[in-house]
């Protein structure tokens, strides 16, 4: 079967689209390898260069985004610990702010450091390790649907004097990913390729090892060791997915969204998040989403992209609507 990233092309009588999985690399590649090969509670601060950090720095903290690291930094090539030692005028930008150790705050930097530990422990490049699991590492010969730059562009100017990298269709959307995608981005897949990967991933029991509530965020989010707890409440995915009876998904399902035009509005979010769902989740900036229920091994992946009908970047609400549009017919069919 011929893969045609970014464009629909006939291949053996069918059509195939290639997707940038973005941050789904965190649970599917990095967290999987960490659980397989690293001691989650060993103190890694000195090995990673954080000699002036008073608290330990462990893989468990980084998997659950509770290390206290900022959400993002550009990657001009120096060690992250050295970069973070420099005083930085954050300009109030949320990507650059730090948080207390022990409070979950989503950060690409946690997974960049985990990838460094894996490369050092195993003596192999992270890209090669992920490719061995069955996903396609960048650079890609045929690019996926391009996604416009996100908020990292403005944060880049606040954090470094280095020039913003030029876009490249063969590399992930993140400007920072073009030189520092190790651990947190950089893999893609077609729907059949991802389905085969997820069958192995679920069958090996990795979701159950990641779905262990470990840290909570300031806004009520709950992180495990690689996955986030889906919450219930009107308009939230955990609410509708909990309606699926146990055993309803005996095999992983991969749903491709139409990704064309503006999606209809999703059900309104009403009030604060409710109680925890039985499902765990992870999303990617470019549009894909992953939902797993460890109780019965149910696994559902959505492949969408975040490019709007006018070529711009969909905001969070429009992206939620696109995912809802992809998920709705599938759930209705099961019902």
- Cα–Cα distance between 95 and 108 in angstroms, integer? 10
Say if CB 335 and CB 258 are below 8 A apart: no
Say if CB 99 and CB 132 are below 8 A apart: no
pTM over 0.85: yes
Q: What's the chain's length in residues? A: 335
Please determine, for residue 175, whether its predicted confidence score (pLDDT) is greater than 80. no
Q: Which of 11-15, 117-121, 211-215, 331-335 has the lowest mean pLDDT?
A: 11-15
Q: Which of 155-169, 247-261, 280-294 has the lowest mean pLDDT?
A: 155-169
pLDDT of 239-266, one tens digit each?
Answer: 999 999 999 999 999 999 877 778 889 9
Q: How confident is the model at residue 221 (pLDDT cuts 50, 70, 90)?
A: very high
Where do the structural domains in the chain lie, given as residue ranges?
Answer: 18-180, 188-334
What pLDDT does 10 receive?
45
pLDDT of 86-126, one tens digit each?
Answer: 877 777 788 888 889 999 999 999 999 999 999 999 999 99
Q: Tokens representing 141?
A: 């010969």
Q: How many Å separate Cα 15 from the centre of its chain?
A: 26
- Largest CA-CA distance found in the chain, in angstroms, rounded: 60
**CA-closest candidate to residue 140, choices 4, 27, 1, 289:** 4
């Amino acid at each position: 079967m011929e893969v045609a990233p970014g464009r629909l092309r006939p291949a053996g009588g069918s059509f195939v689209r290639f997707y940038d999985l973005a941050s789904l690399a965190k649970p599917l590649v990095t967290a999987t390898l960490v659980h397989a090969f690293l001691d989650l509670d060993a103190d890694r601060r000195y090995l990673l260069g954080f000699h002036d950090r008073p608290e330990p720095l462990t893989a468990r903290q980084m998997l659950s985004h509770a290390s206290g690291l900022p959400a993002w930094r550009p990657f001009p090539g120096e060690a992250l610990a050295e970069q973070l030692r420099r005083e930085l005028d954050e300009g109030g930008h949320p990507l650059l702010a730090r948080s207390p150790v022990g409070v979950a705050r989503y950060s690409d930097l946690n997974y960049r450091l985990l990838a460094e530990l894996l490369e050092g422990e195993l003596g192999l490049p992270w890209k090669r390790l992920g490719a061995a699991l069955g996903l396609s590492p960048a650079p890609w010969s045929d690019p996926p649907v391009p996604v416009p730059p996100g908020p990292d562009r403005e944060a880049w100017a606040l954090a470094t004097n280095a020039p913003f990298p030029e876009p490249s269709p063969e590399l992930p959307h993140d400007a920072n990913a073009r030189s520092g995608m190790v651990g947190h981005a950089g893999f893609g897949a077609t729907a059949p390729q991802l389905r085969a990967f997820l069958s192995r991933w679920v069958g090996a029991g990795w979701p159950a090892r990641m779905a262990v509530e470990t840290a909570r965020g300031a806004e009520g989010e709950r992180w495990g060791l690689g996955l986030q707890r889906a919450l219930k409440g009107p308009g939230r995915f955990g609410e509708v997915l909990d309606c699926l009876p146990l055993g309803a998904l005996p095999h992983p399902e991969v749903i491709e969204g139409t990704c064309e035009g503006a999606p209809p509005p999703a059900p309104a979010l009403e009030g604060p998040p409710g109680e925890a769902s039985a499902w765990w989740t992870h999303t990617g900036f470019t549009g894909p989403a992953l939902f797993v229920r460890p109780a019965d091994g149910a696994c559902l992946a959505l492949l969408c992209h975040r490019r709007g009908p006018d070529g711009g970047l969909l905001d969070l609400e429009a992206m939620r609507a696109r995912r809802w549009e992809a998920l709705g017919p599938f759930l209705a069919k099961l019902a």
